Amino acid sequence: MRGRSASIVLVLLLVAVGLGCRPETPAGRLARELKGAFPERAAPTGTVRTFDIEAREAELALIDGGKLRVWAYNGSVPGPELRIRLGETLRVRFTNRLPQPTTIHWHGVRVPNAMDGVPHVTQPPVAPGGTFTYEFTPKDAGSFWFHQHVRSSEQVERGLYGVLVVEDAKPAPYSRDVVWVLDDWLLDETHQIFDRFNSISKSAFDKSYMAEMVSEHDDMAGLFQKEAKDGRVQSIKQLASSMLPAVQQHQALATQTASAVGADVTATTSQTQKGS
């Protein structure tokens, strides 16, 4: 009997030693170090702040008297400033009046997953004419921004972003709180937004992803060739010659991948053949 209990004690000891010696993973270390640094859950006071946001095309008056066509939340760029207090629940009744699907992402805000606005992952994209209600109680005070999350290189560039300020539950006294949002526009010769958004990610959420990729590499290759031929700018010439092989390699890879996934690249590949 005595031998048996001794061996049980020994086994327990070995288990304890084994647990203690297991090396800590980086994620485990982070979790331990940050424990208690941020509230794990929101503490809703029960007050709900409701905002209506509509994404639609709009025109902004420019200081030179011109009009800039943009896509905007509630007709302004940046969009509305949403201001709530910590503990209050934000409810945004969103309507999409754009010609493209879209979502809203709450940048840097710890939201429930379903409110994160990642199309096809946490919610279906909001189709043109569709609506979606975002509702969450922030866990942290702070100044955040929100923006769309579909074809971002186009939709952010066209103006779809705004500010969310979550004030402390008892804000420190101040005379004035001013929010600045800085951005720049890339305009074309007609003084409108340059509408070649030039990113493969812009079409990541529709079926044209691979086709776009092929076409964009085609554009880049063509541009480099043209600039190099014109010889207008020496540095562009050098850039063109150094980058062209890489661009062509990517173009070939994109074409292969596109045909492997069955993307429709007939239009763009025929251009490629014509151009080269």
**Nearest distance from residue 219's CB to Cu ion, in Å?**
27
**107 or 191: CB nearest Cu ion:** 107
**161 or 224: CB nearest Cu ion:** 161
Binding site for Cu ion (CB under 5 A): 107
How many Cβ atoms sit within 10 Å of the Cβ of residue 67? Answer: 12
**67 or 107: CB nearest Cu ion:** 107
> Long-range contact list for 45-48, CB < 8 A, 24+ apart?
45/85, 45/87, 45/88, 46/89, 47/85, 47/87, 47/88, 47/89, 48/88, 48/89, 48/91, 48/135
DSSP state at residue 67: E
CA distance 228 to 220: 12
**100 or 148: CB nearest Cu ion:** 148
**Nearest distance from residue 156's CB to Cu ion, in Å?**
9
**Nearest distance from residue 152's CB to Cu ion, in Å?**
8
**Nearest distance from residue 105's CB to Cu ion, in Å?**
5
Burial of 263 (0-12, 13-18, 19+ CB in 10 A): buried
CA distance 160 to 76: 9
**105 or 217: CB nearest Cu ion:** 105
**Nearest distance from residue 104's CB to Cu ion, in Å?**
10
Q: Compute the half-sphere exposure of residue 21: CA atoms within 13 Å on the CB side of its CA.
A: 6
**Nearest distance from residue 228's CB to Cu ion, in Å?**
37
**145 or 224: CB nearest Cu ion:** 145
Q: Encoding tokens for residue 10?
A: 């020994």
Q: Encoding tokens for residue 128?
A: 């043109």
Q: Name the residue with the smallest CB distance to Cu ion.
A: 107
CA-to-CA separations, 4 to 8, 12, 13, 17, 18, in angstroms, rounded: 6, 13, 14, 20, 21
